[in-house]
């Protein structure tokens, strides 16, 4: 058990440059929240729902992190800071990192049956602060969810989701590097995408300006009277 705890603390230290020791990581609210959840989930599986809820609420009071006892969470799960909500039917894989103010929320089933209402998060996913992942969708392995993104559809493996409603960036999944990226933000790739988009927009803008100039020239030529007609008009006067 001690070896498992040490490995878990080391996995957090590998993703967070702030702590100077394992003892410091033991004070993290995300570590305590996960510990409370392990106990609450065990009680939930034993159908001791009231006790499970009691542990859940006590942990939420201490950590400001609300993880439903029914949620399934894999190894090396790390919540950096707090104010995160994880719903009952959420499933989280191994080595997942979540930053503050994230919601793994549910949708209201139309058939009146609870069932699967919350997201499934695959291994090695990073979810940025303020992101909202809603409904029984799947976030693929190694995906990155940008800060404040709102995700309501399945996310491909290795994709980065940004915006409201979140859209996939143009980086192919097979080109993604597989190591951990702090805060789920690959700055170099994102910057390259922005440059490409700006260049494309500038090219389209130049083409539109050229087309508008051509239309104006054609319109001016159509309005201007022909020389012969203008001369006849002057002679008649």
Q: Locate 126 and state its tokens.
A: 């990073």
Q: What is the pLDDT, as a whole number, of residue 39?
A: 97
Q: What is the pLDDT of residue 184?
A: 59
pLDDT value at 213 more than 80 = yes
Average pLDDT (31-47) is 97
- Angle in degrees, CA 180, 80, 30, rounded to 5: 125
Least confident of 40-49, 57-66, 97-106, 178-187: 178-187
CA 48 to chain centre: 34
Q: pLDDT confidence of 202, banded at 50, 70, 90?
A: confident
Position 200 scores a pLDDT of 79
Q: Which two tokens stand for residue 103?
A: 């919601």
Residue extents of the structural domains in the chain: 2-185, 194-236
Is residue 105's pLDDT more than 80? yes
What is the reported pTM?
0.71
Q: How many angstroms separate the CA atoms of 151 and 157, rounded?
A: 14
Average pLDDT value for the chain: 85
- The whole-number pLDDT of residue 84 equals 96
Q: Flag whether pLDDT at 25 surpasses 80.
A: yes
Confidence of residue 220 (pLDDT cuts 50, 70, 90): confident
**Which CATH code, of 1.25.40.10, 1.10.3720.10, 1.10.10.10, 2.160.10.10, is assigned to 2-185?**
2.160.10.10
Q: Taking residues 129-144, what's their average pLDDT?
A: 94
pLDDT tens, residue by residue, 146-184: 999 999 999 999 999 988 876 666 555 555 555 666 655
Q: Does residue 8 carry a pLDDT above 60?
A: yes
* Per-residue H/E/C for the chain: CHHHHHHHHHHHHHHCCCCCCHHHHCCCHHHHHHHHHHHHHHHHHCCCHHHHHHHHHHHHHHHCCEECCCCEECCCCEECCCCCEECCCCEECCCCEECCCCEEECCCCCCCCCCCCCCEECCCCEECCCCEEECCCEECCCCEECCCCEECCCECCCCEEECCCCEECCCCHHHCCCCCCHHHCCHHHHHHHHHHHHHHHHHHHHHHHHHHHHHHHHHHHHHCCCHHHHHHHHHHC
CA 46, 50, 55: angle at the middle one, nearest 5? 90
Residue 57 binned pLDDT confidence (cut-offs 50, 70, 90): very high
**pLDDT-derived band at 31, boundaries 50, 70, 90:** very high
pLDDT of 63 strictly over 90:
yes
Residue 233: pLDDT band by 50, 70, 90 thresholds? low
Q: How far is CA 77 from CA 4, 172, 189, 207, in A?
A: 13, 26, 26, 50
Interval 194-217 mean pLDDT: 82
Note the pLDDT of residue 110: 57
Euclidean distance between the first and final Cα of the chain, in Å? 109
């Amino acid at each position: 058990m001690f070896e498992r705890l040490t490995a878990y603390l080391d996995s957090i230290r590998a993703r967070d440059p702030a702590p100077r020791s394992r003892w410091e990581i033991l004070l993290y609210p995300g570590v305590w929240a996960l510990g409370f959840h392990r106990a609450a989930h065990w009680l939930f599986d034993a159908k001791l729902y009231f006790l499970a809820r009691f542990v859940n609420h006590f942990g939420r009071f201490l950590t400001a992190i609300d993880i439903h006892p029914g949620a399934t969470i894999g190894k090396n799960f790390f919540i950096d800071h707090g104010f995160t909500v994880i719903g009952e039917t959420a499933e989280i894989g191994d080595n997942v990192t979540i930053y503050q103010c994230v919601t793994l929320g549910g949708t209201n089933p139309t058939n009146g049956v609870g069932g699967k209402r919350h997201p499934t998060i695959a291994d090695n996913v990073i979810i940025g602060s303020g992101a909202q992942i809603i409904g029984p969708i799947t976030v693929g392995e190694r995906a990155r969810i940008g800060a404040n993104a709102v995700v309501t559809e399945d996310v491909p493996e290795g994709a980065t989701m940004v915006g409201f409603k979140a859209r996939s960036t143009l980086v192919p999944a097979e080109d993604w590097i597989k190591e951990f990226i702090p805060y789920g933000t690959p700055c170099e790739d994102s910057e390259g995408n922005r440059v490409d988009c700006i260049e494309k927009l500038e090219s389209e803008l130049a083409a539109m300006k050229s087309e508008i100039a051509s239309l104006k020239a054609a319109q001016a030529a159509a309005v201007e009277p022909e020389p012969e007609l203008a001369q006849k008009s002057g002679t008649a006067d």
